[in-house]
């Protein structure tokens, strides 16, 4: 059995001279961060998993903090791949995002592609100070339709906890365990889709984005403001390509500009 | 845990989950109105599948776990559970559906039984907490709650699509086993085990916000 991969990335950014700059950076194991030249005042960070995918036993941890007034836009070098895991040992991903007053984090990794037999448990904890902003987006693709891949049994769990000023505001608890193709074929689950995405936009006045977001959505998606400052969006699509077509305009609208360049490679 | 009910407990539980108990369930469709409008649920078989998904992969599974957890939660733990239950709802209408029914249940049950039931508890948390205060075992509470959810939604569907009484109740009866299975599984699980895959159900609830005209508040 191959040795399990472990990776840790810690990043914090502060506002200095009108730009967001790295305040602290730690990289360990198979996680690396790249910092392309920014085209705005935000700090652009691209992480990559040098292990080339996730399999049973892998442990990845990313922690990012935007200090007061600073903005970090975080993306991934490539789509993550979840490969078959041995029974009983899944891969674990932990993400912690902390945003101080007036700060902002855009968590925009590229898709996660799950292959037959993948087992992944992801946890994301987001803590927001008053006035802080977070844009969170995760898309999951079940196999690659163009390659004729079918995904059978999966163990996929994803849990997000978003706290504003110490108060628990939103919890995402996704559990897709079992015959993924069968589940996604069901009318209450995927309705035949092979790609799913969840977007959360937490910002003062987020509710005001609803009309514009609705105008961008296909019928296989929906959006709701669960609070004046928290909007939840869910999208289903036939495949990864269709998902991008639906998701990119939404993310660009909420990010206020083009997505990180890595998305277009 | 002993799941047998005394006669008094049986009648209390039956009363609490009777469609006549003034919880206002008939006003809410959990997004089903939108799913029917969009053609996702177009026939009795699809309705049965959709409700089965709700039970096994959606709010049914989550609510059954919440009922069990609320049964023993007190004080700060109860408040945390209520916050979690609310935070787990990904749509404005589902939060309203859950909190409105929770408050209505708490109001009538306080008046009838004098229980210390606070306002602001989502419905499964209020119900589970009341059951705990009354000494009703949680698993039958969850079983009957799930069947009441199914019955309420089948009745909603009858107003939205061609669905006669026999076909409607065939669906309710056919989902009884799933209600029992989900309630039994929840007995061994806690809030950390909560997880759902009811994505299309969530989307239907979101899309319901812009549905005009509409009969239901969710």
Asked if B138 and B131 count as a contact pair (C-beta separation under 8 A), the reply is: yes
Q: Is A146 exposed, middle or buried (0-12, 13-18, 19+ CB in 10 A)?
A: exposed
Chain B: residue whose CA lies nearest to A163: B87
Chain A: residue whose CA lies nearest to B50: A188
Query: A184 to chain B, minimum CA–CA distance in Å?
Result: 9
Is it the case that residue A38 has pLDDT exceeding 90?
A: no
Asked if A83 and A29 count as a contact pair (C-beta separation under 8 A), the reply is: no
- The predicted-structure confidence for B150-179, as pLDDT tens digits, reads as follows 999 999 999 999 999 999 999 999 999 999
Residue B25 counted as domain residue? no
| Distance (Å, whole) CA A100 – CA A83 | 36
The torsion angle over the Cα atoms of residues B98, B100, B106 and B112, rounded to 10 degrees, is -120
Percentage of chain A surpassing pLDDT 70?
98
Confidence of residue A2 (pLDDT cuts 50, 70, 90): low
| Distance (Å, whole) CA A88 – CA A117 | 11
Domain of B59, in residue numbers: 30-208
Is it the case that residue B17 has pLDDT exceeding 90?
A: yes
| Distance (Å, whole) CA B193 – CA B201 | 20
Residues of A in contact with B201 (CB under 8 A): 188-189
Q: 3-class secondary structure for chain B?
A: CCCCCCHHHHHHHHHHCCCCCCCCHHHCCCCHHHHHHCCCCCCHHHHHHHHHHHHHHCHHHHHHHHHHHHHHCCCHHHHHHHHHHHHCCCCHHHHHHHHHHHHHHHHHHHHHHCCCCCCCCCHHHHHHHHHHHHCCCHHHHHHHHHHHHHHHHHHHHHHHCCCCHHHHHHHHHHCHHHHHHHHHHHCCCCHHHCCECCHHHHHHHHHHCCCCCCCCCC
Residue B139 counted as domain residue? yes
Residue B213 counted as domain residue? no
> Using the 8-state DSSP alphabet, how is residue A145 labeled?
G
Domain count, chain B: 1
Q: What is the pLDDT of residue A4?
A: 86
User: Tokens at residue A142, please?
Assistant: 């079940």
Is it the case that residue B185 has pLDDT exceeding 60?
A: yes
Confidence of residue A88 (pLDDT cuts 50, 70, 90): confident
The sign of the CA dihedral B165, B166, B170, B173 is positive
Read off the pLDDT of each residue in A142-162 and give the average, rounded to a whole number.
Answer: 87
Confidence of residue A264 (pLDDT cuts 50, 70, 90): confident
What is the average pLDDT value for chain B, to the nearest integer? 97
Phi, psi of B174 (to 5 degrees): -70, -20
Is it the case that residue A145 has pLDDT exceeding 80?
A: no
Phi, psi of A6 (to 5 degrees): -130, 140
Strands (E), A83-194: 91-99, 104-108, 112-114, 119-128, 133-142, 153-164, 167-179
Residues of B in contact with A159 (CB under 8 A): 195
Read off the pLDDT of each residue in A39-55 and give the average, rounded to a whole number.
Answer: 93
Q: β-pairing, A195-202 with A230-237? A: antiparallel
Decide if B115 touches A, using CB distance below 8 A: no
Confidence of residue A150 (pLDDT cuts 50, 70, 90): confident
- For residues A6-23, b (16+ Cβ closer than 10 Å) or e, as one string? bbbbbbbbbbeeeebebb
| Distance (Å, whole) CA A176 – CA B103 | 32
Residue B63 counted as domain residue? yes
Asked if B100 and B91 count as a contact pair (C-beta separation under 8 A), the reply is: no
DSSP H or E stretch at residue A245: helix A240-255
CB contact under 8 Å between A234 and B95, yes or no, is no
- Within 10 A of A242 (CB to CB), how many other CB atoms are there? 18
**B154: CATH:** 1.10.4190.10
Asked if B68 and B142 count as a contact pair (C-beta separation under 8 A), the reply is: yes
| Distance (Å, whole) CA A222 – CA A79 | 24
Confidence of residue A149 (pLDDT cuts 50, 70, 90): confident
Question: Which residues, numbered 68 to 97 in chain B, qualify as contacts with chain A under a Cβ-Cβ cut-off of 8 Å?
Answer: 80, 83-84, 87-93, 95
Residue tagged 């699980």 (tokens): B189
The domain ranges of chain A are: 6-257
Give A121's strand partners.
Answer: A92, A157
CB contact under 8 Å between A214 and B210, yes or no, is yes
CB contact under 8 Å between A232 and B90, yes or no, is yes
Residue B1 counted as domain residue? no
Residues of B in contact with A196 (CB under 8 A): 199
Give the count of Cβ contacts less than 8 A between chain A and B.
Answer: 107
Read off the pLDDT of each residue in A82-89 and give the average, rounded to a whole number.
Answer: 85
| Distance (Å, whole) CA A263 – CA A75 | 8
ipTM of the complex: 0.97
Query: B9 to chain A, minimum CA–CA distance in Å?
Result: 34
- The predicted-structure confidence for B94-105, as pLDDT tens digits, reads as follows 999 999 999 999
Q: What is the pLDDT of residue A151?
A: 86
The sign of the CA dihedral B200, B201, B206, B209 is positive
Helix (H, G, I), strand (E, B) or coil at A27: strand
Give A113's strand partners.
Answer: A81, A141
| Among candidates B195, B200, B201 on the partner chain, residue whose Cβ is nearest the Cβ of A157 | B195
């Amino acid at each position: 059995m191959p040795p399990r991969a472990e990776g840790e990335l810690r990043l914090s950014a502060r506002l200095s001279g009108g730009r967001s700059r790295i305040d602290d950076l730690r990289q360990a194991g198979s996680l690396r961060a790249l910092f392309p030249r920014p085209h705005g005042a935000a700090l652009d960070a691209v992480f990559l998993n040098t292990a080339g995918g996730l399999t049973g036993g892998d442990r990845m941890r990313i922690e990012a903090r935007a200090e007061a007034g600073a903005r970090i836009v975080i993306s991934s070098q490539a789509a993550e791949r979840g490969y078959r895991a041995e029974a009983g040992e899944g891969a674990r991903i932990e993400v912690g995002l902390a945003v101080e007053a007036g700060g902002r984090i855009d968590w925009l990794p590229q898709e996660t592609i799950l292959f037959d037999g993948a087992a992944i448990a992801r946890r994301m904890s987001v803590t927001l100070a008053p006035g802080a902003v977070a844009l969170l987006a995760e898309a999951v693709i079940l196999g690659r339709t163009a390659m004729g891949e079918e995904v059978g049994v999966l163990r996929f769990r994803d849990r997000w906890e978003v706290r504003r000023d110490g108060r628990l505001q939103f919890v995402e608890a996704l559990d897709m365990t079992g015959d993924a193709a069968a589940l996604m074929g069901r009318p209450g689950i995927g309705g035949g889709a092979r790609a799913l995405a969840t977007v959360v936009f937490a910002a003062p006045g987020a509710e005001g984005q609803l009309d514009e977001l609705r105008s961008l959505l296909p019928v296989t998606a929906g959006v709701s403001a669960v609070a004046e400052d928290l909007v939840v969006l869910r999208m289903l699509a036939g495949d990864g390509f269709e998902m991008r077509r639906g998701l990119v305009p939404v993310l660009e609208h909420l990010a206020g500009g083009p997505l990180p360049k890595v998305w277009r490679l | 845990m002993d799941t047998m009910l005394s006669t008094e407990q049986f009648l209390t539980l039956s009363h609490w989950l009777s469609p006549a108990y003034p919880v206002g369930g008939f006003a809410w469709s959990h997004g089903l109105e939108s799913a029917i409008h969009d053609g996702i649920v177009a026939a009795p078989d699809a309705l049965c599948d959709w409700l089965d998904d709700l039970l096994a992969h959606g709010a049914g599974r989550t609510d059954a776990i919440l009922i069990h957890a609320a049964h023993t939660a007190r004080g700060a733990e109860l408040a945390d559970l209520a916050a979690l239950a609310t935070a787990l709802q990904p749509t404005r209408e589902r939060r309203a559906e859950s909190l409105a029914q929770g408050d209505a249940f708490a109001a009538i049950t306080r008046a009838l039984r004098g229980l210390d039931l606070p306002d602001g508890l989502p419905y499964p948390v209020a119900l589970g907490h009341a059951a705990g205060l009354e000494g009703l075992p949680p698993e039958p509470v969850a079983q009957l709650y799930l069947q009441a959810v199914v019955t309420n939604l089948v009745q909603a569907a009858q107003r939205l699509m061609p669905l006669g009484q026999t076909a409607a109740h065939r669906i309710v009866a056919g989902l009884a086993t799933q209600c029992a299975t989900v309630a039994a599984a929840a007995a061994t699980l806690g809030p950390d085990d909560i997880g759902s895959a009811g994505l299309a159900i969530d989307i239907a609830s979101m899309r319901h916000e812009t549905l005009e005209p509409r009969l239901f508040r969710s």
